[in-house]
Amino acid sequence: MKCYHHKHVIFLVLLSATLVLLTSCSCRRTAATLDDVETYIQSRPDSALAVIRAIDTTTLTTRSVRARYALLHSIALDKNWIDTTDVNVVMPAVEYYDRHPSGLYRAKAYYYLGRIQENGGDLSAASVSLLKSEKYAEGTDDIAFKSLLYQTISNIYGKVFQMDEALDYTEKSYELALQDGDSLGANASLYCMAKDLNNMG
């Protein structure tokens, strides 16, 4: 009887170790997939979203991988013009990068939280999140992201009729778009500047 019990315990220990190993391997594969998605999410957001949606969420077994998944999922939705209002999509990223500050990821987590809050019509909360994103983006060198961020902040100010602030951020966005060689972004900012000036009379 003791021998049977001993074998049973060994079997359970081996089974547990095997499950842990398999789970760890699955998580690493998912992390590698997310690394790959990040390389083309800006240029091929539709493909990125398809890959993200195909990921088995049971493989998101660490907080860092859940955060990356949440952030990339939020970016892919936004880039595909899918205006979700569910802040839970991005919150794992916001909470993780708040505890593990990592510059650009933290800034982007708050940016996409702000976008989701804006989609839901909560402009006050959106402005708080976007200004936090601006603060965390200060030490980064991602000009394209900063240009996008400034234009989004400008849009929020425009919606609440604070036109001086809206114009100020649009001008910042325009300057960074030019610096980045982004003619499309620069033209979009010029259009917004014209709209801001028109609203100011």
**Average pLDDT per run of 10 along the chain, which is 201 residues long?**
52 48 68 95 96 94 95 97 97 96 92 97 97 94 95 95 94 93 84 80 74
Please tell me whether the overall predicted TM-score, pTM, comes out greater than 0.75 for this model: yes
pLDDT of residue 15: 45
Element (H, E) at 65: helix 63-79
pLDDT of residue 200: 76
Encoding tokens for residue 176?
A: 């960074």
CA dihedral 83→84→85→90, nearest 10 degrees, is -120
CA dihedral 170→171→177→179, nearest 10 degrees, is -160
Our CA angle for 199, 173, 157, nearest 5°, is 40
pLDDT of residue 154: 96
b/e burial code for range 139-176 (CB count within 10 A of at least 16 → b): eeebbebbbbbbbbbbbbbbeeeebebbbbbbbbbbeb
